[in-house]
Structure 1
């Protein structure tokens, strides 16, 4: 269970960064909605039939300068969810000293070099193309390397997509979502590690990162307009 974040306890600068991200999200929505578009529709545009497991756009979205990466897909069988975005940072864009954990029990090779990506957070989307939740996953779900929680937290501010493929507003939106929910994502990632540690304690000698009975490690329902409103209220004199 993710603890409730006391927004009043956050530094003023952090709250203002979150609010700025929230206003950018609203601007992205306006730009899309004025054209009769939505976030998910733009990612799927021109991609053919929407097939479960496949990545959209094909070959993912990658920024060669920031080394941020994301894709959209569906596979969870959740009637409330249309699909979800997975966000990543590749090794060449990480803070100096970032390093995957040593895990002698690994039964499947982990990626290395710039391929040693870290999953940051997934964003669950509803049937209307709006976010409904955030979650973290086990390693096998995204075939990532596994970085300790505090290293992943240090990566969050570096996630950005600076180009316009597949859509400028979508790319701005997804980076703003990470900034708006940063304190919450921090807790999701920390609890992700706690869940894995607990699993390892219960299954000693087993590669828990390949445990198909554990896919979603932590989940948080979200309400973007409500969070923005709360942040705006705290800015009022």
Structure 2
């Protein structure tokens, strides 16, 4: 039987979404829209804001150079872009989001974890692909080697999502925190699909380390629309959340 949690959110199959999560998603939607409106009114956008003060936009460089790191939650993110000939599809730039796990009490890597060579215990959650005008257009996950992360299976990575908070008042910080709430159902879906992709790769390529195989880079992806997500959420809330478990 297909796990309902793995089904893309739709008006017909979202009974597992609790009223509390729907409420959090609605609040996050307001924050996402407000942050983008604030930047637009100042003549900027999310990508331009992260690049502010930089001397151009250099492919593969992290923006900001040392990433954005929250000292309390241990959440972090950066923006970068790949060279055009190394992109599997159009992607102007994307945010990578992480949780640092060294300082989280009770979080231990499972047996299948792969610790990074530099000893930094960070776990990649999801990447957000952006257009040149600063609009989010796709969510995706990556194989372990891409970000040199400590690998956690989907249930453990999903448990970290609630901890992802970038403090401060910068619009981009508030926006990225809210995005991981607004698209929480899709992110959970993608993390499960990521695990399935790696498991399939391991089964069909038994002579290689699936986590380190450069032939497997993007492990799951999903096109997104802010307008469609918010419209669906509004309709769900207006219906009173009928059908919730």
Query: Is TM (by shorter chain) over 0.5?
Result: yes
- Which deviates the most, 127-136 or 201-210? 201-210
- Which deviates the most, 18-27 or 87-96? 87-96
Tell me which residue corresponds to 2:129. 124
The question of whether the paired residues in 2 share the 8 Å contact of 1:111 and 1:145 is answered with no
2: CA distance, partners of 1:135 / 1:162? 24
Tell me which residue corresponds to 2:74. 67
1: CA distance, partners of 2:177 / 2:153? 22
Write out aligned runs for 1:183-202 (5 A).
Answer: 183-202=185-204
1: CA distance, partners of 2:187 / 2:99? 15
Instruction: Please give the secondary structure, in 1, of the residue aligned with 2:102.
Output: helix
Write out aligned runs for 1:1-237 (5 A).
Answer: 3-6=7-10, 8-9=14-15, 10-75=17-82, 76-77=86-87, 80-94=90-104, 96-102=106-112, 110-111=116-117, 115-164=120-169, 168-236=170-238
Q: How big is the shift at 1:144?
A: 0.5
The question of whether the paired residues in 1 share the 8 Å contact of 2:68 and 2:77 is answered with yes
1:121–1:24 distance in 2 versus 1, CA, 3 Å = same
Q: How big is the shift at 1:230?
A: 1.3
Q: CA RMSD in A?
A: 1.9
2: CA distance, partners of 1:18 / 1:224? 12
Instruction: State TM-score, norm by structure 2.
Output: 0.87
The question of whether the paired residues in 1 share the 8 Å contact of 2:101 and 2:107 is answered with no
Instruction: Please give the secondary structure, in 2, of the residue aligned with 1:99.
Output: coil
How many positions carry a matched residue from both structures? 228
- Which deviates the most, 118-127 or 28-37? 28-37
1: CA distance, partners of 2:157 / 2:89? 30
Q: How big is the shift at 1:111?
A: 4.6
Deviations 1:33-86 (A, max 9, x none): 111110000001111121111100111111111100100001153663211000
1: CA distance, partners of 2:223 / 2:54? 28
Unpaired stretches in structure 1, ≥5 consecutive residues? none
- Which deviates the most, 144-153 or 74-83? 74-83
Q: How big is the shift at 1:93?
A: 4.8
The list of structure 1 runs, each at least 4 consecutive aligned residues, that deviate by more than 6 angstroms after superposition, is none
1:215–1:205 distance in 2 versus 1, CA, 3 Å = same
1:95–1:178 distance in 2 versus 1, CA, 3 Å = farther
2: CA distance, partners of 1:94 / 1:147? 14
Unpaired stretches in structure 2, ≥5 consecutive residues? 1-5, 240-245
Q: How big is the shift at 1:142?
A: 0.5
